Amino acid sequence: MVNALEVDAPEEDKDDEISDAVRIVLEKDPLLDASEIGVSTERSRVTLRGLVASEEQRRTAEHDAWYVFGVNDVSNEIEVSPDMASARWRSVAAS
């Protein structure tokens, strides 16, 4: 008797798919302005870069990234720029 069964390893998420999923999660979070956040992924390690208006938004972005399936590590290089908050409110008020 010959056993010709093959076992395939589970499909791994590709880095660009992980980056796309993280971007979507960031954009959908109502507590976060993700317009100035960049996402890159290498070997399931997500790196977040850019500017947000508060430390709370910085932490929120990192937490959001961790919730994406396939993410094994998150490097949060986002910088806080309080000037962004005042500029955003000026643009909302002008609308």
The pLDDT assigned to 72 comes to: 96
d(CA 80, CA 86): 13
Identify the structural domains of the chain with CATH numbers, from first to last.
15-94 (3.30.1340.30)
At residue 40 the predicted structure's pLDDT band, cuts being 50, 70 and 90, is very high
Percent of the chain with pLDDT over 90: 72
Which of the four pLDDT bands, split at 50, 70 and 90, describes residue 62?
Answer: very high
* Residue-averaged pLDDT of the chain: 86
Top mean pLDDT of 10-14, 54-58, 80-84, 89-93 is at 54-58
Strand partners, 78: 50
> Per-residue confidence at 44, pLDDT binned at 50, 70, 90?
very high
Report the alpha-carbon distance of residue 38 to residue 57 in Å, rounded: 14
Please give the pLDDT value at position 82: 83
Question: Residue 43 pLDDT more than 60?
Answer: yes
Cβ contact 29:64 at 8 Å: yes
Q: How confident is the model at residue 9 (pLDDT cuts 50, 70, 90)?
A: low
What single letter denotes the amino acid at residue 4?
A
Residues 13-52: b if buried by 16+ CB within 10 A, e if exposed: bebeebbebbbebbeeeeebbbeebebbbeeeebbbebbb
